[in-house]
Amino acid sequence: MAKENNINNTRDKFQKFGSFLSGMVIPNIGAFIAFGLITAIFIDSGWAPNKKIAELISPLLNYLLPILIGYSGGGLVHGKRGAVAGAIGTFGIVVGADIPMFLGAMLVGPFSGLVIKKFDDLVKDKVPNGFEMIVDNFSLGILGGIICVLSFLFIEPVVVSVTNAMAGGIEFLMNKGFLPLVSLLIEPGRVLFLNNAIDHGIMAPLGLTQVAKVGYSPLFMIIGNPGIGLGILLAYWKFGKGNMKEAAPGAMIIQFLGGIHEIYFPYVLSNPLTLIACIAGQATNIIVMQLLHYGTVYTPSPASIFSVIAMTPKGKYLSMLIVVLSATVVTFLVASIFVKRYYRNYTGDEEEVSENLNENVGNEISSKEIEKIVVACDAGMGSSAMTASSLKKRLKNEGFDLDVIHTSIQSIPDDADLIVVHKELAEAAKKKAPTKTRIIISSYINPKEFDDVVKLLNEKRSDLKTSLEVLPNDNIIIDDSITTKEDALIKINQKFVAGGYTTEKYLDGMKEKESEFHTNMGNGLAIPHGSYDYKSEILNTGLVVIVNKNGITWNDEKVYLVIGIAGKGDEHLEILSKIATEFDTEEKVKEIVELGDKNKIKKALE
């Protein structure tokens, strides 16, 4: 057990590190694609050679792309200030370098952001009022400038040496025919959801160094070849049984045409011997690329066949087809052996007894209604985007109009109410957001655990309807001692907080609203409610009514009926409209005030 925990902890650390590396590259994929297309089209051997336009290639490769990575790396550590510091620091290592400084950017960018973060933590609450902007700007300029100079003088030479050594090592393996052996390391890491870390963190920087020399690199296709996943899925479609066989055709479309490789990882993990097929397919992929001198101008992302075609240099399309087809065929043939063996004694009963991944889900969730659902994966792009889209569609059909977003595990927002994550990444999500409720899914394609999401939402909706009235008797206050607006707002907020309708901060929202707009209506009625910026402090829709026959001073006039409103979502608009319609005259307000009984007031308002 302890050994298994150590393995899981090590994998989680690699996934976290890999997510951080890919988090610097993935936001800038569009810029890399632009570079790849300009290279493929306008270089001397491109589709439309143009020396003038080709002059863009070197600055894009050596300046723009590394600085974007440094900017993103600094931003991951410390927001916009960290991002700007990362860009400044990265500039110091790209100037004068004769190779693309992607590895250097991945080091200097986050380091620059960390320096600014430490400075900000040091001076927090110590800067005199009025000097914040001066301190922010000059600290960023001074520290950023120092890092830039140090990067130029000391870090750049070291990174150049390391990059050249790594590139030389890759070339040595290629020249000696040993490169296929890396498949023994690549494929196990890939199916453990480290594909983005390997692709964008390791292969891409080294591959771009080769692009600068020869115009293409086979390293981009080590993760990018969609044939390996296609071979696995074809084997399950042909020789599998049950749900996995039925899901395979849809998974093939998503994987091969959509480029979401994570879709086939569970197929491998459920039958670990098929990993041998992945290794064989990858080794074939590398060997054939070396024989045909094939590579792409950048890593296909998402790694669909369409991206592979777009990133393939002119004149190498036949080689591309052979590379993809050979990887597919070898993977399929080897995987077929283990898939047939896996299903040799299959009866169909196994699928009826499946692990309940979410048996106790929802026990720890607060009384707050679920509004934002976050689907998280390693990189926050392909697989989570697809799952979030299908989940949103499912929930809409079930009558739930919720905010469903996708993100990387490391970027799970604080305001997430529910996290949906694959079982292989569940521990990483738990460590990142330990207090959040999680629904664990077994597949990225319409998993059966979507039923658990719907069940939880229905339970929450039912609980909220039965546990909280909009206007319980206790929220009706008949008290002539409340004589000022300030006292009334405090009393209303006390009732809201005690009843679980709002947080204590909602009082600030009501006060802010009064400063923006007087809520007394001019007919003896006031309808205080929070400003828009405090909507997140509303937990459930509720009302508090105060009646004072002698009147409450409210912005230089007397009001006798106060209806405090906490409306969830857009419900406050509906409530405001109804109140304004029902109590449009002083006579109607007076009728309620003169009732003098909570039950009668509640009945009249209902």
Give the separation between CA 422 and CA 251, rounded to whole angstroms: 16
DSSP E strand stretches across 199-273: none
How many other β-carbons are positioned within 10 Å of the β-carbon of residue 9?
A: 12
480 membership: H or E segment, kind and range: none
The helix (run of H) or strand (run of E) holding residue 374 is strand 372-377
Report how far residue 528's alpha carbon sits from residue 565's, in angstroms, rounded to the nearest whole number. Answer: 6
The tokens describing 304, both together, are: 């669909």
Q: Are 147 and 123 in contact (CB under 8 A)?
A: no
Nearest-5° Cα angle at 12, 357 to 283: 100
Taking alpha carbons only, the member of 344, 330, 222 closest to residue 276 is: 330
Cα dist. 179→109, 173, 185, 283, 284 in Å?
Answer: 31, 5, 11, 8, 11
Burial code (b: 16+ CB inside 10 Å, e: under 16) for 340-351 equals: eebbeeeeeeee
**DSSP letter at 483?**
-
Catalytic residue among 406, 422, 529, 572: 529
Contact residues for 481 (Cβ-Cβ < 8 A; gap 6+): none
Q: How far apart are CA 247 and CA 265, in angstroms?
A: 13
Residue with tokens 């059909």: 397
Contact 601, 549 (CB under 8 A): no
CB 428 within 8 A of CB 438: no
Cα–chain center distance at 63: 28
Q: How far apart are CA 294 and CA 312, in angstroms?
A: 9
C-alpha–C-alpha distance, residues 469 and 279, integer Å = 61
Rounded CA separation 70/73 (Å): 5
Classify strands 403-408 and 476-478 as parallel, antiparallel or unpaired.
Answer: unpaired
Q: Reply yes or no on whether 377 is catalytic.
A: yes
Give the helix ranges, DSSP H, for 26-155: 29-42, 51-54, 57-59, 65-94, 102-123, 132-150
Out of 200, 278, 377, 406, pick the active-site residue: 377
Q: Are 244 and 447 in contact (CB under 8 A)?
A: no
List CB contacts of 520: < 8 A, sequence separation 6 or more: 526, 554, 555, 557, 559
The yes-or-no answer on residue 529 being catalytic is yes
| Distances, alpha carbon 220 to alpha carbons 27, 124, 202, 211, in Å | 18, 44, 10, 10
Report the interhelical angle of 204-214 vs 102-123 (nearest 10°).
Answer: 140
What are the tokens at 535?
A: 């909507």
Distance CA 213, CA 86 (A): 27
Cβ–Cβ < 8 Å for 218, 295? yes
Which positions are annotated as active-site residues? 377, 529
